Amino acid sequence: MLVLGIETSCDETAVGIVADGRRLLTNIVASQAAVHAQYGGVVPEVASRQHIEAILPVIRAALAEGRCTPSDLDAVAVTAGPGLAGALLVGLNTAKALAFAWSKPLIAVNHLEGHVYANWLSETPPPLPAVALIVSGGHSEIILAEDHGRYRLLGRTRDDAAGEAFDKAARVLGLGFPGGPAIERAARDAGPKAPRLPRAWLGKSNDFSFSGLKSAVMRLAQEGAAPAAAIAAGFQTAVVDVLTAKTARAAAAVGARSVLLSGGVAANGPLRAALAERSPVPLWAPPLDLCTDNGAMIAAAAFYRAESGAAGLDLDVRASWSLA
């Protein structure tokens, strides 16, 4: 089954083509990061306009690079939410038009489920039940995937998402946008003397909170107490510590057979290394280019959603669609 997946929930116009939910034929991503960097963050109206300009060229490029014609495809999948409503609409309406014109079923995919299924685009698929740590610009959740399409929420952030915390910390430290890669780079050059920043353990809860950490970064930066790179290192260590400890504990508690790292923050090297070390069961983490937003993960997730039925052309975006 060959699926074309379209993703426009935030600032990446992305299209991937995947066979049987596992084999990647192509994955084209047009990033708007440089445009939004001027504003220090994603501007929704700008994102929508950029998607409109990029979507058809990206679809053409994906078909060309994947050496497919529309008639080879079995379905068109699209992110229906969660995300920026105006941005989602561009992908959704394009997918509807293509599904109608090409007479293919239209499959609506939850963006977070897409992130989780980036882990299926690998040699061996992870065994279920799995505990997924989904950490992106908009989400930080620990989810139990009992089976395909069966999810239970184990924990979530009570304030900022992990990626949002990276982006805000980077802004305060003058390291640029997007913040995650900038913090990771700065921390690498920081040397051994990083300040110890606070961790919000919230007792035995699987929930996260990053607002106290953000305030601590601001305070240290204002006081000029340490170089920006050292503060970045202290921040990253604190985030990684909390994310890995809670995910490892949750995986042990529910008897998961694998841990799945997903979302843009999953590209973080120290997070990947620490979770590999602390997870009680084998860890899956997508290759770096499949961690951040892409269309291939949407096509992969759609393969496992297909049996639950195609969406109608009255499909609407669900800006705050939760997975569990």
Closest distance of CB 143 from ligand KG4, Å: 15
In one-letter notation, the amino acid at residue 169 is A
Q: What is the number of H-type helices and E-type strands within the chain?
A: 11, 10
Q: State which residue, 228 or 301, has the beta carbon closest to Zn ion.
A: 301
Furthest-apart CA atoms within the chain: distance in Å: 62
Closest to ligand KG4 by CB, 2 or 112: 112
Express the helix, strand and coil content of the chain in percent, nearest 5 each: 45, 20, 35
DSSP string, 137-192: SS-EEEEEEEETTEEEEEEEBSSS-HHHHHHHHHHHTT--SSHHHHHHHHHHTS-S
The only residue of 26, 110, 237, 268 in contact with ligand KG4, by rule CB under 6 A: 268
Shortest Å, Cβ 23 to ligand KG4: 22
Residue 140 binding Zn ion, by CB under 5 A: no
- Of the CA atoms within 13 Å of residue 71, those in its CB half-sphere come to 0
Residue 180 beta carbon to Zn ion: minimum distance, rounded to whole angstroms: 12
Query: Hey, is 313 helix, strand or coil?
Result: coil
Q: How far is the CB of 70 from ligand KG4 (least distance, A)?
A: 28
Among 293, 297, 305, 321, binds Zn ion (CB under 5 A): 293
**Residue 207 makes contact with Zn ion by CB under 5 A:** no
Nearest to 162 by CA among 198, 135, 199: 135
136 sits near Zn ion (criterion: CB under 5 A) = yes
Any contact of residue 7 with ligand KG4 (CB under 6 A)? no
46 in helix, strand or coil? helix
Which stretch, 49-57, 67-75, 213-221, 287-295, contacts Zn ion (CB under 5 A)? 287-295
Residue among 10 and 17 whose Cβ is closer to ligand KG4: 10
Residue showing the smallest CB distance to Zn ion in the complex: 136
Which does residue 163 touch among Zn ion, ligand KG4, none (CB within 5 to 8 A, set by kind)? Answer: ligand KG4
Told to check if 136 binds ligand KG4 by CB under 6 A, we report: yes
CB of 221 to ligand KG4, least distance (A): 18
CB of 297 to Zn ion, least distance (A): 9
The pair phi, psi for residue 300, each rounded to 5°, is -65, -45
User: Is the CB of residue 128 less than 8 Å from the CB of residue 26?
Assistant: no
Query: Between residues 81 and 234, which has the closer beta carbon with respect to Zn ion?
Result: 81
Sign of the four-CA dihedral 285, 182, 278, 205: negative
Give the nearer residue to ligand KG4 in terms of CB position, either 97 or 288: 288
List the one residue from 66, 86, 234, 264 that touches ligand KG4 (CB under 6 A): 264
Rounded to 5 degrees, φ, ψ at 155 are -170, 160
Tally of CA atoms within 13 A in the half-sphere of 102 that contains its CB:
20
Please tell me whether residue 126 binds ligand KG4 under the rule CB under 6 A.
Answer: no
Binding residues for Zn ion, rule CB under 5 A, total 2
Phi-psi region at 176: left, alpha or beta (left = phi > 0; alpha = psi -120 to 50): left
Q: Does residue 141 interact with Zn ion by CB under 5 A?
A: no
Is 11 among the residues that bind Zn ion (CB under 5 A)? no
Residues in contact with Zn ion by CB under 5 A are: 136, 293
Residues in contact with ligand KG4 by CB under 6 A are: 10, 136-138, 163-164, 166-167, 178-181, 184, 263-265, 267-268, 292-293
